[in-house]
Amino acid sequence: MAAIIGFTGCASTWDDLTSRRFRDKPFDTVFRKEDPVHVLRSNPDGGERARAMLRLEEPLANGRPETEQDEMMQILTTAATSDPSPWVRLAAIDALGRFRDARTADALVAAYHQAEGRPARATPPTPTGPIQPASGGRGESFVNDRLGLSGPQGFSSDQVMNIRGRSLDSLAKKTDPKIVNFLAVVASGKELPADEDPAVKDFVRQRAVAGLGKIRTQESIAALGTVLAAENGKDVTLTHLAHEGLVELTGQKLPPDPEKWGAVVQAGVQVAPESGTIQKAIDIKLP
Protein backbone atom coordinates (compact mmCIF):
# COMPACT_ATOMS: atom_id res chain seq x y z
CA MET A 1 0.00 0.00 0.00
CA ALA A 2 2.82 2.41 0.88
CA ALA A 3 4.49 1.68 -2.45
CA ILE A 4 1.26 2.42 -4.33
CA ILE A 5 0.83 5.74 -2.53
CA GLY A 6 4.40 6.67 -3.37
CA PHE A 7 4.00 5.83 -7.04
CA THR A 8 0.69 7.60 -7.58
CA GLY A 9 1.08 10.80 -5.55
CA CYS A 10 -2.59 11.46 -6.24
CA ALA A 11 -4.91 13.41 -3.95
CA SER A 12 -7.62 10.81 -4.47
CA THR A 13 -5.41 7.86 -3.50
CA TRP A 14 -6.96 7.55 -0.04
CA ASP A 15 -10.44 7.47 -1.58
CA ASP A 16 -9.32 4.65 -3.86
CA LEU A 17 -7.62 2.66 -1.10
CA THR A 18 -10.69 2.77 1.14
CA SER A 19 -13.12 1.60 -1.54
CA ARG A 20 -14.45 -1.92 -1.93
CA ARG A 21 -13.18 -1.94 -5.50
CA PHE A 22 -9.62 -1.61 -4.18
CA ARG A 23 -10.10 -4.68 -1.99
CA ASP A 24 -11.43 -6.65 -4.95
CA LYS A 25 -9.06 -5.34 -7.64
CA PRO A 26 -6.25 -3.27 -6.06
CA PHE A 27 -4.10 -2.94 -9.20
CA ASP A 28 -6.97 -1.97 -11.49
CA THR A 29 -8.31 0.56 -8.95
CA VAL A 30 -5.09 2.56 -8.78
CA PHE A 31 -3.53 2.08 -12.21
CA ARG A 32 -6.48 1.42 -14.54
CA LYS A 33 -9.08 4.13 -14.19
CA GLU A 34 -12.48 3.32 -15.62
CA ASP A 35 -13.97 5.65 -18.19
CA PRO A 36 -15.89 8.17 -16.03
CA VAL A 37 -18.77 8.16 -18.52
CA HIS A 38 -19.14 4.42 -18.06
CA VAL A 39 -19.02 4.79 -14.27
CA LEU A 40 -21.72 7.45 -14.27
CA ARG A 41 -23.91 5.33 -16.50
CA SER A 42 -23.64 2.06 -14.62
CA ASN A 43 -22.28 2.45 -11.08
CA PRO A 44 -24.74 3.49 -8.36
CA ASP A 45 -22.07 3.85 -5.65
CA GLY A 46 -21.80 7.46 -4.46
CA GLY A 47 -18.05 7.38 -3.89
CA GLU A 48 -17.29 5.93 -7.32
CA ARG A 49 -19.59 8.44 -9.01
CA ALA A 50 -18.00 11.39 -7.25
CA ARG A 51 -14.50 10.26 -8.25
CA ALA A 52 -15.70 9.79 -11.84
CA MET A 53 -17.09 13.33 -11.89
CA LEU A 54 -13.73 14.69 -10.79
CA ARG A 55 -12.10 13.00 -13.82
CA LEU A 56 -14.91 13.69 -16.28
CA GLU A 57 -14.07 15.74 -19.38
CA GLU A 58 -16.70 17.46 -21.48
CA PRO A 59 -17.78 15.03 -24.23
CA LEU A 60 -18.27 17.54 -27.06
CA ALA A 61 -14.89 19.14 -26.34
CA ASN A 62 -13.30 15.73 -26.88
CA GLY A 63 -15.09 14.82 -30.10
CA ARG A 64 -17.68 12.57 -28.49
CA PRO A 65 -21.34 12.57 -29.62
CA GLU A 66 -23.90 15.19 -28.65
CA THR A 67 -26.13 12.53 -27.14
CA GLU A 68 -23.38 11.78 -24.63
CA GLN A 69 -23.08 15.49 -23.86
CA ASP A 70 -26.81 15.66 -23.11
CA GLU A 71 -26.63 12.53 -20.97
CA MET A 72 -23.71 13.83 -18.88
CA MET A 73 -25.40 17.23 -18.45
CA GLN A 74 -28.53 15.50 -17.13
CA ILE A 75 -26.52 13.34 -14.71
CA LEU A 76 -24.42 16.24 -13.43
CA THR A 77 -27.42 18.55 -13.04
CA THR A 78 -29.35 15.93 -11.09
CA ALA A 79 -26.35 15.20 -8.85
CA ALA A 80 -25.55 18.89 -8.23
CA THR A 81 -29.10 19.77 -7.23
CA SER A 82 -30.55 16.72 -5.50
CA ASP A 83 -27.96 14.10 -4.56
CA PRO A 84 -28.21 13.09 -0.87
CA SER A 85 -24.45 13.38 -0.50
CA PRO A 86 -22.81 16.83 -0.22
CA TRP A 87 -19.57 15.30 -1.49
CA VAL A 88 -21.23 14.06 -4.69
CA ARG A 89 -22.89 17.45 -5.15
CA LEU A 90 -19.53 19.24 -4.89
CA ALA A 91 -17.96 16.89 -7.45
CA ALA A 92 -20.84 17.52 -9.86
CA ILE A 93 -20.61 21.29 -9.32
CA ASP A 94 -16.88 21.24 -10.08
CA ALA A 95 -17.51 19.27 -13.27
CA LEU A 96 -20.19 21.73 -14.39
CA GLY A 97 -17.67 24.51 -13.82
CA ARG A 98 -15.28 22.85 -16.28
CA PHE A 99 -17.95 22.37 -18.96
CA ARG A 100 -18.49 25.10 -21.56
CA ASP A 101 -22.07 24.05 -22.24
CA ALA A 102 -24.44 27.04 -21.95
CA ARG A 103 -26.82 24.95 -19.84
CA THR A 104 -24.32 24.81 -16.98
CA ALA A 105 -25.27 28.31 -15.80
CA ASP A 106 -28.86 27.35 -14.97
CA ALA A 107 -27.70 24.09 -13.39
CA LEU A 108 -25.23 25.87 -11.12
CA VAL A 109 -27.77 28.50 -10.07
CA ALA A 110 -30.17 25.67 -9.20
CA ALA A 111 -27.40 23.92 -7.22
CA TYR A 112 -26.85 27.14 -5.27
CA HIS A 113 -30.55 27.51 -4.45
CA GLN A 114 -30.97 23.87 -3.43
CA ALA A 115 -27.82 23.67 -1.30
CA GLU A 116 -29.75 23.00 1.93
CA GLY A 117 -30.19 19.36 0.95
CA ARG A 118 -33.96 19.32 1.40
CA PRO A 119 -35.43 18.29 -1.95
CA ALA A 120 -38.69 20.10 -2.64
CA ARG A 121 -39.65 17.86 -5.55
CA ALA A 122 -39.08 14.38 -6.84
CA THR A 123 -35.59 13.76 -8.23
CA PRO A 124 -35.61 13.71 -12.05
CA PRO A 125 -34.90 10.24 -13.45
CA THR A 126 -31.38 9.47 -14.64
CA PRO A 127 -30.17 6.85 -17.12
CA THR A 128 -28.75 4.82 -14.23
CA GLY A 129 -31.83 4.88 -12.00
CA PRO A 130 -31.74 5.88 -8.33
CA ILE A 131 -28.32 6.93 -7.08
CA GLN A 132 -27.14 5.01 -4.04
CA PRO A 133 -25.02 7.11 -1.71
CA ALA A 134 -22.98 4.12 -0.51
CA SER A 135 -22.65 0.40 -0.97
CA GLY A 136 -20.70 -2.55 0.30
CA GLY A 137 -20.04 -4.01 3.71
CA ARG A 138 -19.93 -2.47 7.13
CA GLY A 139 -16.36 -1.16 6.78
CA GLU A 140 -17.06 0.68 3.55
CA SER A 141 -20.33 2.07 4.87
CA PHE A 142 -18.42 3.55 7.81
CA VAL A 143 -15.85 5.22 5.51
CA ASN A 144 -18.55 6.56 3.21
CA ASP A 145 -20.54 7.90 6.16
CA ARG A 146 -17.45 9.73 7.37
CA LEU A 147 -17.09 11.25 3.91
CA GLY A 148 -20.68 12.49 3.94
CA LEU A 149 -22.09 9.90 1.56
CA SER A 150 -25.03 8.75 3.68
CA GLY A 151 -26.98 11.90 2.86
CA PRO A 152 -28.91 13.75 5.55
CA GLN A 153 -32.29 15.28 4.69
CA GLY A 154 -30.90 18.70 5.37
CA PHE A 155 -27.22 19.60 5.32
CA SER A 156 -25.32 21.31 8.12
CA SER A 157 -24.40 24.99 7.84
CA ASP A 158 -20.82 24.29 6.80
CA GLN A 159 -21.97 21.89 4.07
CA VAL A 160 -24.50 24.42 2.77
CA MET A 161 -21.77 27.05 2.81
CA ASN A 162 -19.39 24.84 0.82
CA ILE A 163 -22.01 23.90 -1.78
CA ARG A 164 -23.09 27.49 -2.30
CA GLY A 165 -19.52 28.74 -2.38
CA ARG A 166 -18.41 26.16 -4.91
CA SER A 167 -21.47 26.88 -7.06
CA LEU A 168 -20.47 30.54 -7.14
CA ASP A 169 -16.85 29.66 -7.91
CA SER A 170 -17.95 27.52 -10.86
CA LEU A 171 -20.28 30.26 -12.11
CA ALA A 172 -17.35 32.69 -12.03
CA LYS A 173 -15.69 30.61 -14.76
CA LYS A 174 -18.46 31.65 -17.18
CA THR A 175 -18.99 34.96 -18.99
CA ASP A 176 -22.76 34.97 -19.48
CA PRO A 177 -24.16 38.43 -18.51
CA LYS A 178 -26.98 36.81 -16.52
CA ILE A 179 -24.33 35.18 -14.32
CA VAL A 180 -22.88 38.60 -13.52
CA ASN A 181 -26.37 39.76 -12.55
CA PHE A 182 -26.86 36.72 -10.32
CA LEU A 183 -23.50 37.17 -8.58
CA ALA A 184 -24.27 40.86 -8.07
CA VAL A 185 -27.58 40.02 -6.39
CA VAL A 186 -25.89 37.45 -4.13
CA ALA A 187 -23.16 39.98 -3.30
CA SER A 188 -25.81 42.48 -2.21
CA GLY A 189 -27.21 40.00 0.31
CA LYS A 190 -30.77 40.61 -0.88
CA GLU A 191 -31.13 37.14 -2.38
CA LEU A 192 -30.33 35.26 0.84
CA PRO A 193 -33.09 34.10 3.22
CA ALA A 194 -33.72 36.35 6.23
CA ASP A 195 -33.03 33.45 8.60
CA GLU A 196 -29.79 32.43 6.88
CA ASP A 197 -26.88 31.56 9.15
CA PRO A 198 -24.78 34.77 9.42
CA ALA A 199 -21.57 32.84 8.76
CA VAL A 200 -23.03 31.34 5.58
CA LYS A 201 -24.37 34.72 4.48
CA ASP A 202 -21.00 36.45 4.93
CA PHE A 203 -19.15 33.63 3.18
CA VAL A 204 -21.36 33.45 0.09
CA ARG A 205 -21.41 37.21 -0.31
CA GLN A 206 -17.63 37.24 -0.23
CA ARG A 207 -17.43 34.40 -2.77
CA ALA A 208 -19.85 36.26 -5.05
CA VAL A 209 -17.74 39.44 -4.98
CA ALA A 210 -14.56 37.43 -5.54
CA GLY A 211 -16.29 35.71 -8.46
CA LEU A 212 -17.19 39.04 -10.06
CA GLY A 213 -13.49 39.90 -9.98
CA LYS A 214 -12.75 36.85 -12.17
CA ILE A 215 -15.27 37.54 -14.94
CA ARG A 216 -13.47 39.82 -17.33
CA THR A 217 -16.36 41.89 -18.67
CA GLN A 218 -17.47 45.51 -18.36
CA GLU A 219 -20.62 44.27 -16.64
CA SER A 220 -18.46 42.84 -13.86
CA ILE A 221 -16.60 46.12 -13.49
CA ALA A 222 -19.89 47.96 -13.10
CA ALA A 223 -21.15 45.40 -10.56
CA LEU A 224 -17.97 45.68 -8.50
CA GLY A 225 -18.28 49.46 -8.55
CA THR A 226 -21.79 49.11 -7.11
CA VAL A 227 -20.54 46.77 -4.37
CA LEU A 228 -17.71 49.15 -3.48
CA ALA A 229 -20.10 52.10 -3.20
CA ALA A 230 -22.60 50.13 -1.10
CA GLU A 231 -20.10 48.50 1.28
CA ASN A 232 -17.51 51.24 1.72
CA GLY A 233 -17.35 52.06 5.43
CA LYS A 234 -19.65 49.12 6.29
CA ASP A 235 -18.00 45.81 5.44
CA VAL A 236 -14.20 45.80 5.27
CA THR A 237 -13.90 42.39 3.58
CA LEU A 238 -16.43 43.07 0.83
CA THR A 239 -14.88 46.50 0.22
CA HIS A 240 -11.43 44.95 -0.10
CA LEU A 241 -12.61 42.22 -2.46
CA ALA A 242 -14.51 44.68 -4.66
CA HIS A 243 -11.51 47.01 -4.83
CA GLU A 244 -9.14 44.12 -5.57
CA GLY A 245 -11.41 42.98 -8.40
CA LEU A 246 -11.65 46.46 -9.89
CA VAL A 247 -7.87 46.85 -9.93
CA GLU A 248 -7.43 43.43 -11.53
CA LEU A 249 -10.10 43.93 -14.22
CA THR A 250 -9.20 47.50 -15.18
CA GLY A 251 -5.48 47.78 -14.45
CA GLN A 252 -6.21 51.12 -12.74
CA LYS A 253 -4.15 51.61 -9.54
CA LEU A 254 -6.69 53.69 -7.66
CA PRO A 255 -7.52 53.75 -3.94
CA PRO A 256 -10.82 52.22 -2.76
CA ASP A 257 -12.69 55.47 -3.30
CA PRO A 258 -16.24 54.92 -4.63
CA GLU A 259 -16.29 58.31 -6.38
CA LYS A 260 -13.07 57.68 -8.28
CA TRP A 261 -14.17 54.22 -9.33
CA GLY A 262 -17.60 55.53 -10.21
CA ALA A 263 -15.92 57.85 -12.70
CA VAL A 264 -14.00 54.90 -14.15
CA VAL A 265 -17.18 52.91 -14.63
CA GLN A 266 -19.03 55.85 -16.16
CA ALA A 267 -16.21 56.41 -18.62
CA GLY A 268 -16.58 52.87 -19.91
CA VAL A 269 -13.05 51.67 -19.16
CA GLN A 270 -11.93 48.61 -21.11
CA VAL A 271 -11.08 45.33 -19.43
CA ALA A 272 -7.31 45.01 -18.97
CA PRO A 273 -5.42 41.96 -20.25
CA GLU A 274 -5.00 39.12 -17.78
CA SER A 275 -1.26 39.72 -17.67
CA GLY A 276 -2.00 42.69 -15.43
CA THR A 277 -0.60 45.33 -17.78
CA ILE A 278 -2.56 48.56 -17.75
CA GLN A 279 -4.57 49.25 -20.86
CA LYS A 280 -5.47 52.92 -21.20
CA ALA A 281 -7.98 52.82 -24.01
CA ILE A 282 -9.74 55.89 -22.62
CA ASP A 283 -8.20 58.95 -21.01
CA ILE A 284 -10.11 59.34 -17.76
CA LYS A 285 -9.90 62.59 -15.82
CA LEU A 286 -10.52 61.94 -12.16
CA PRO A 287 -11.33 64.58 -9.53
Among residues 172, 203, 222, the one where a domain terminates is 172
The residues, ordered by sequence, that sit 6+ positions from 62 with a Cβ below 8 Å of its Cβ are: none
In a domain, 179, yes or no: yes
Q: Which residues of 86-95 are buried (b: 16+ CB within 10 A; e: fewer)?
A: bbbbbbbbbb
Same domain, residue pair 50 and 109: yes
Residues 237 and 285 in one domain: yes
- Report the predicted TM-score, pTM, of the whole model to 2 decimal places: 0.75
pLDDT digits (tens, 9 = 90+) for 242-276: 999 999 999 999 999 999 999 999 999 999 998 54
Range of the domain at 164: 33-172
Phi, psi of 280, rounded to the nearest 5 degrees: -100, 80
Whether residue 12 is contained in a domain is answered as: no
Three-state SS for 132?
strand
If asked whether residues 105 and 167 sit together in one domain, one would say yes
Number of domains in the chain: 2
Residues 230 and 263 in one domain: yes
Give the CA distances from residue 283 to residues 76, 187, 275, 277, in Å, rounded to whole numbers and listed in that order: 46, 30, 21, 16
DSSP secondary structure of 55-66: H---TGGGT--H
187-209 confidence digits (pLDDT tens): 999 877 777 788 889 999 999 99
pLDDT at 33: 75
pLDDT tens readout for residues 81-132? 999 999 999 999 999 999 999 999 999 999 999 999 875 544 444 443 443 4
Dist. CA 170–CA 197, nearest whole Å = 22
- 255 and 145 belong to one structural domain: no
Round to whole Å and give the CA distance between 121 and 125. Answer: 12
Q: How far apart are CA 263 and CA 167, in angstroms?
A: 32
